[in-house]
Amino acid sequence: MNTPSNAVPQSPLDPRAVTPTTMSETRPLYWSIRRELWENRSIYIAPLVVAGVVLLGFLIATIGRAVATADPAQRAAVLVERNNFAAGVIMATAFIVGVFYCLDALHGERRDRSILFWKSLPVSDLTTVLSKASIPLVVLPLLTFAIIVVMQLVMLLLSTAVLLMSGLGVATLWTPLPLFQMSLVLLYHLVTVHVLWHAPIYAWLLLVSGWARRAVFLWAVLPVVAIQIVEKIAFNTSYIASILGHRLAGPEGFHFTAPGSAPVHPLMTFDPAKFLSTPGLWIGLAFAAAFLAAAVRLRRYQGPI
Amino acid sequence: MACIEARGLRKAFGTTIALDGLDLRVEEGRILGLIGPNGAGKTTALNAILGLTPYQGELKVLGRDPWTARDQLMRDVSFIADVAVLPRWIRVSQVVEYVAGVHPRFDRAKAEGFLAKTTIKRASKVRELSKGMVAQLHLALVMAIDAKLLVLDEPTLGLDILYRKQFYDSLLNDYFDRTRTIVVTTHQVEEVQHILTDVMFINRGRIVLDCSMEEFESRYLEVMVHPQHVAAARALKPIHERQVFGRSILLFDGVDRHRLAALGEVRTPGIADLFVAVMGNQAGAAQGAAA
């Protein structure tokens, strides 16, 4: 934040050039991300609202069932299951928010002509596209992580409170739940699946939103459907469909992206070496990079629509 | 160093030629009015200067190629394109904060000072402001940027006369300091005539007139001719003639002032009148060539 890196070739005699030009390269990126959050408040409001709803449901269920379930092991199992379900719901919400955000990201500014204002400022197209890509790839995963961890803590505290009030022991509830390990596994899952594995999906949506003049969603989805139809009719195969399904569901060994089967089970084995050696990961990342590069280039040419 | 230098600037949209080998040179410290009919290529020329559109030919703005170095160029160039391009969702406080965040030459205190003179509330969103207030806000942001070149493309379109006057007054009083350069396009030519130092007419992608205002005032004279001298006046080859209240008004290019004074009342023409004359003659010449 303090490198005077954008030294414009200025005559040192020009007094106006001396003071204000100490601004680091990352500042425009930081402010562009803040700008995105000002514009798209649903990025954090939607997951928070869903978390609130989940907690409300949990509160009702806990009070209702606390007395009924006497067996402590069973009680803990129920809690783990609820935790996983809650995490899955938040992740699904974040995915939907990310998809809709990307569809509008480079289209909205052209539609409302504000692209002329953004382009009148010394922010490069690369910075702009990176700031928009970092919403689904950095901001949303971090937010998801924070919300899930806090939510699980609140759920645990609620259970504890209810148990204490009903006069039952609490120790049995806390022992089978290694909170730190759960958070670590959650973070690993978010980084591998929601960031690295899903990156080409978000990048594709950003590219289409920068390209299409209208009906961004259709342009994003229809070509993909069309390819599948052609493949099916021409060769009677469905490789593309399975590739895309695989892309959405996550790499092998992660069978838990569907809501209801979240990856927070502490016994889950995670194998970074195996993940990093999956060719699909690197192919996907290459596609993501190509899509983003095309989006940057496209933004240079685009004006209001 | 010239602030803007273009040679043989070309740009076509399909078969429509927007810029047809435009040559242009704007020195530092000038206030240039770029005047032209709709579709003459004004906005395309400005877009090329601002790095918003690719072009053929040579173009240097403050020594840089705008198309490849837009983001660096924008540290020294500000522009207001059309009116309302400020995003409607943003709050006044947010837009000030954002520009302060990304622009190394933005003076926040100065912007706050300009805003304090208006009735714009800090917590308002742009969509809640009137058109005139949005223009005031944009101008406050732009005037707080210590830029070398300011480009205004129809900055007062759709504003009422009070806002328009205020806009140019504050631009002249609080911003222009003779080291900056301003390029402005507008259809309300008569409202900017008194602030310009140079004027350019553009038609069909070419510059058809390029002169300083001093040159303009010494070269072009308009005479409201006494009825008895009309024939004598016409013999001096006016470039344009029009009738107002039954009197002939003739526009001359480069005819001695004393000679004209004998024929009627002499005055400096409005840019708009000269524009009509030049464009009319162009259209006539084009038709003659076609016939």
Q: Test A120 with B74 for CB contact under 8 angstroms.
A: yes
Do B229 and B119 belong together in one domain? no
Residue B209 lies in a domain: no
Closest CA to A236 of A248, A228, A246: A228
Q: What is the DSSP letter of B80?
A: E
Residue B20 in contact with partner chain A when CB distance is under 8 A: no
Choose the final residue of a domain: B173, B204, B235. Answer: B204
Do B19 and B146 belong together in one domain? yes
Do B118 and B242 belong together in one domain? no
Choose the final residue of a domain: B150, B173, B204. Answer: B204
Choose the final residue of a domain: B179, B204, B229. Answer: B204
Residue B211 lies in a domain: no
Chain A residues touching residue B71 (CB < 8 angstroms): 122-125, 127
Do B61 and B109 belong together in one domain? yes
Residue B194 lies in a domain: yes
Do B88 and B220 belong together in one domain? no
Which one of A120, A123, A124, A297 would you mutate to disrupt binding with B, by most B Cβ within 10 Å of its Cβ?
A120
Q: Find, in chain B, the residue whose alpha carbon is nearest to that of A300.
A: B52
Do B67 and B20 belong together in one domain? yes
Q: Distances in Å between the alpha carbon of B133 and those of A116, B108, B263?
A: 18, 18, 48
Total domain count, chain B: 2
Do B157 and B227 belong together in one domain? no
Q: Distances in Å between the alpha carbon of B146 and those of B99, B107, B130, B155, B227?
A: 12, 8, 27, 19, 54
Q: What is the CATH number of the domain that holds B151?
A: 3.40.50.300
Q: Test A32 with B103 for CB contact under 8 angstroms.
A: no
Output the pLDDT for position A273: 80
Helix/strand/coil percent split, chain B, to 5:
40, 30, 30
Output the pLDDT for position B291: 46
Closest CA to A36 of B98, B123, B106: B98
Which one of A6, A16, A22, A116 would you mutate to disrupt binding with B, by most B Cβ within 10 Å of its Cβ?
A116
Residue B230 lies in a domain: yes
Chain B residues touching residue A8 (CB < 8 angstroms): 72, 75-76
H-helix or E-strand spanning residue B268:
none
Contact (CB, 8 A) for B91 and A37: no
Residue B44 in contact with partner chain A when CB distance is under 8 A: no
Q: CA-CA distance, B47 to B24, in Å (whole number)?
A: 14
Output the pLDDT for position A246: 86
H-helix or E-strand spanning residue A119:
none
Output the pLDDT for position A79: 74
Output the pLDDT for position A155: 84
Q: Test B76 with A31 for CB contact under 8 angstroms.
A: no
Residue B69 lies in a domain: yes
Q: CA-CA distance, B201 to B209, in Å (whole number)?
A: 5
Q: Which residues of chain A have pLDDT under 50?
A: 1-21, 253-267
Question: For A253-287, what is each residue's pLDDT tens digit?
Answer: 444 434 444 444 444 556 778 888 888 899 999 99
Interface of B with A in 131-160 (CB under 8 A): 138, 146
- As given in the structure block, the two tokens for residue B9 are 């600037």
Inter-chain CB pairs, A–B, below 8 Å: 94
Residue B142 lies in a domain: yes
Q: Find, in chain A, the residue whose alpha carbon is nearest to that of B146.
A: A16
Which one of B46, B71, B106, B178 would you mutate to disrupt binding with A, by most A Cβ within 10 Å of its Cβ?
B71
Tell me the pairing of strands B31-35 and B56-61: unpaired
Contact (CB, 8 A) for B18 and B41: yes
Q: Which residues contact A183 (CB under 8 A, 6 or more apart)?
A: A145, A149
Q: Which residues of chain B have pLDDT under 70?
A: 83-84, 284-291
Do B198 and B230 belong together in one domain? no
Do B101 and B178 belong together in one domain? yes
Do B107 and B180 belong together in one domain? yes
Q: What is the DSSP letter of B212?
A: E
Do B237 and B96 belong together in one domain? no
Segments forming the whole domain that contains residue B200? 2-204
Q: CA-CA distance, B265 to A65, in Å (whole number)?
A: 101
Do B90 and B157 belong together in one domain? yes
Three-state DSSP at A8 gives coil
Residue B89 lies in a domain: yes
Q: Test A120 with B81 for CB contact under 8 angstroms.
A: yes
- As given in the structure block, the two tokens for residue B31 are 């206030």
Chain A nearest C-alpha distance from B191 (Å): 25
Residue B210 lies in a domain: no
